[in-house]
Amino acid sequence: MGAVQALTPGGAQSSPAGVVLACDQAIFTSIRSPMGEGYRLVAASRGLRADEKQTITRNSPSHDALCLREESGVKDAPAAAFYSLPTGRLCVAYSCVAGAEHTARGGQRVYTHVAVFESRDFPDCGYNPFNVLRAMVAAGLTTPQLTPPAVLPGLVLSVANPGPGVSSANFISRWTSAHRRYCLHALIEHHPLVIDVKDGWVESAEALLLGVPGPSRAEVSFGAGVRFSVGRGHQLQILYDDKGTVRSRLAGQSVEYIQPTSKTPPSPPSSAWLTFVDRHWTSGDLPTLARRTSRAFEDTTRSARERMGTLFNDLDTVVQMTMASVISLAATRLRESSRGVEREIRDELLSTAQRAVRQGITAASWADIEPIWRPLLTLWRSSNEGTAFAHPLIEIVLRRLMIANPTQAAEAALDVVRDVPPTVDKSRHEALLDEVLTALLGAPAPSCDADRARSANLCTRWRAARPASATVARFCDRLATRQSTTPS
């Protein structure tokens, strides 16, 4: 089977191609054998315990249990499932048809191959059972084996994290935004759902699961493309209820029945996290969504999700804000305390905000910059992080003004002469101030009384600020010479 190798299960390892995941495996189907016939575990690796086998048997589909829509040409759509076992290990299952049923019942045989791995390896798989499922497909495990040995070897899967791009066409086009957000909220809050859609069951399950914070996904058991069964008891079941019988069976029960195409969608709660996720769903950008939500969040409580959702929303909209709004946002974020992944997202936001202001400054006049100058100086002196954010921007402002308006640059530079934050490189800062004054020395002589008065005021203020500066002395001497030779 190509990439499948014998190995004792437990212990994922990194590799250049991704994660090497050690698993147990089993096959559930219906074949004639010396042990009997009918649907059962016909083969399994030695590492599977009796209670794990019982759970796999209970959750595996048997005769006529797949959602096959022959009238629409969907005759062999695969199904998938994900759930935890009594031992705490996790199970990913792939089901498909495997030829004709060999019993008198007729119809198509259902074949299921499962991979079982340690929950501690789930983070290495991007908290995404579909990454494991794709590895199973690549390893050939989804090709039916109807004459397997009774004892299968342990196996190794090469799991790519992140996995390939995810198809979400059905999920985006056939689920309304309100339905998507409502179902995600229900999943996160551990409410059981049965969702009736005509096709695209597996891809919809992955798109929906990617909206759940990574560490919480191990708690979300699901079946996609499998007909409804109370015995399986998955929290999420995405299927095709072609005759409406499932809805009737669920009447009065705690399991909620959802039709994502209904014209009266439920009302999802207002939530920054739901807004953030749905924006990615709407744009079809599931790779970015997976990268953002499949992180090792230390806290996935509702309040933490809202904080992180707000951070992600700000991260995606900060480039569209005015410079004043960006500075205000940065000041707010710099006052907040955070740790771990939340701190990483905040730092990414601050880095993006700094780039946005930098780009704005390079194309702005002093009239545009002046409103943010004082807030930028306040941020510069607020904290070490504030200094790190603001100092590069202050340098850009002064260098831009040196070219456009040397006098304005010298006036602005007076604001950063005193109370210099301790983390600023003093020699570099002094060199910048000297450049500002040198640019002023090279500027044309003031041509009117107002400009001469402005220059005289600059001279006085710079002498007070830098009495020992040779550049200040040269500027003041030059100004005095110009004024003495100017006709009255």
The answer on 476 and 363 residing in a single domain is: no
Alpha helices in 152-297 (DSSP H): 169-174, 177-188, 201-209, 245-250, 272-283, 286-293
Give the model's pLDDT for residue 461.
Answer: 92
Indicate whether 217 belongs to any domain. no
The answer on 410 and 460 residing in a single domain is: no
Neighbours of 40 (CB within 10 A): 17
Distance CA 255, CA 183 (A): 12
Distance of CA 103 to the CA centre of its chain: 48
> Cis omega before residue 487 (within 30°)?
no
- Exposed/middle/buried for 366, CB within 10 Å: 0-12, 13-18, 19+? middle
The answer on 116 and 62 residing in a single domain is: yes
Q: End-to-end alpha-carbon separation of the chain, Å?
A: 98
Give CA separation, 185 vs 155, 212, 276, in Å.
36, 9, 13
- Contact between 380 and 387 under an 8 Å Cβ cutoff? The reply is yes
| Global model pTM greater than 0.75 | yes
What does the block give as tokens for 197?
Answer: 């859609």
The answer on 485 and 357 residing in a single domain is: no
What does the block give as tokens for 393?
Answer: 């921007």
Range of the domain at 135: 13-165
Neighbours of 365 (CB within 10 A): 11
How many domains would you assign to the chain? 3
The answer on 488 and 357 residing in a single domain is: no
Among 141, 165, 189, the domain-final residue is 165
What does the block give as tokens for 318?
Answer: 């900060």
- Contact between 55 and 86 under an 8 Å Cβ cutoff? The reply is yes
DSSP secondary structure code for residue 229 in this structure: -
The answer on 140 and 35 residing in a single domain is: yes
The answer on 44 and 73 residing in a single domain is: yes
Distance CA 350, CA 310 (A): 13
What does the block give as tokens for 306?
Answer: 């809202």
Indicate whether 129 belongs to any domain. yes
Indicate whether 36 belongs to any domain. yes
Indicate whether 39 belongs to any domain. yes
Q: Which long-range contacts (CB under 8 A, 24 or more apart) does 64-67 make?
A: 64/105, 64/107, 64/110, 64/227, 65/110, 65/226, 65/227, 65/229, 66/95, 66/96, 66/97, 66/108, 66/110, 66/225, 66/226, 66/227, 67/201, 67/225, 67/226, 67/227, 67/239, 67/240
Q: Which helix (H) or strand (E) holds 439?
A: helix 426-441
The answer on 417 and 487 residing in a single domain is: no
Indicate whether 459 belongs to any domain. yes
Indicate whether 347 belongs to any domain. no
pLDDT per residue, tens digit, the chain (488 aa), is 333 333 334 556 554 457 899 999 999 999 876 666 789 999 999 999 999 999 999 999 998 899 875 544 555 678 999 999 999 999 999 999 987 676 656 678 899 999 999 999 999 999 999 999 999 999 999 899 988 998 999 999 999 876 556 666 778 888 999 999 999 999 999 999 999 998 889 999 999 999 999 999 999 999 999 999 888 889 999 999 988 899 999 988 889 999 998 888 889 999 999 999 999 999 988 989 999 999 999 999 999 999 999 999 999 999 999 999 999 999 999 999 999 999 999 999 999 999 999 999 998 999 999 999 999 999 999 999 999 999 999 999 999 999 999 999 999 999 999 999 999 999 999 999 999 988 988 888 777 888 888 888 988 999 898 888 888 888 888 877 765 555 54
Indicate whether 321 belongs to any domain. no
What is the gyration radius of the CA atoms in the chain, in angstroms? 33
Indicate whether 309 belongs to any domain. no
The answer on 391 and 357 residing in a single domain is: yes
Give the model's pLDDT for residue 472.
Answer: 84
Distance CA 104, CA 30 (A): 12
Helices 470-485 and 449-465: crossing angle in degrees, nearest 10, is 150
Q: Torsion angle of alpha carbons 259, 186, 290, 116, nearest 10°?
A: -100
Give the model's pLDDT for residue 388.
Answer: 97
Give the model's pLDDT for residue 476.
Answer: 83
The answer on 370 and 452 residing in a single domain is: no
The answer on 385 and 456 residing in a single domain is: no
The answer on 36 and 160 residing in a single domain is: yes
Give the model's pLDDT for residue 181.
Answer: 96
| Angle formed at CA 91 by CA 87 and CA 97, multiple of 5 degrees | 140
